[in-house]
Amino acid sequence: MQPINCLLIDDDEDDRDFFAIVLDGCGQPYNLIAASSGANGLGLLKSADSVPDYIFLDLNMPLLSGKECLERIRKMVHLQQVPVIIYSTSSYFKDIEDTRQLGATFFLTKSADIDTLSRILCDIFNGEQLPFVLS
């Protein structure tokens, strides 16, 4: 089984640690690259030969916000087909609508329930039919 390549863009160190634990819970082999800012994340995505399978994107980040990152990602030709999953504390309707408009694939609200998050990631990786808002 090919490992799943994930890029996580999140400025919060704790949340980057949590995400690795959530991925462990999926039981599938994976590679996780974590970027601590939007600028770092976009830097990693520039080259066409390092396209991840999934991009997980925090919204509330200093300087370059998640929404701005999403906008720029969707403008990059080699990334247009890559699923971008918003991964945020927010469940604010405006954030959900804005990111849907900007071309996000799913909106996953960060939760304290690590097992549920692992299950949702599994469903995403298995290509299940899922609603836009996941939690």
Catalog residues that contact another protein under the rule CB under 8 A.
11-12, 14-15, 18, 21, 36, 59-60, 62-63, 88-92, 94-95, 110-114
> In whole angstroms, how close is the CB of 57 to another protein at the nearest point?
15
Q: Integer distance in angstroms from the first to the last C-alpha of the chain?
A: 27
Nearer to another protein, 20 or 76 (CB): 20
Nearest to 87 by CA among 65, 60, 108, 115: 108
Nearer to another protein, 5 or 89 (CB): 89
Phi–psi pair at 113, nearest 5 degrees: -90, 95
Helix (H, G, I), strand (E, B) or coil at 8: strand
> In whole angstroms, how close is the CB of 62 to another protein at the nearest point?
5
Nearer to another protein, 24 or 80 (CB): 24
Give the tokens for residue 69: 């990152």
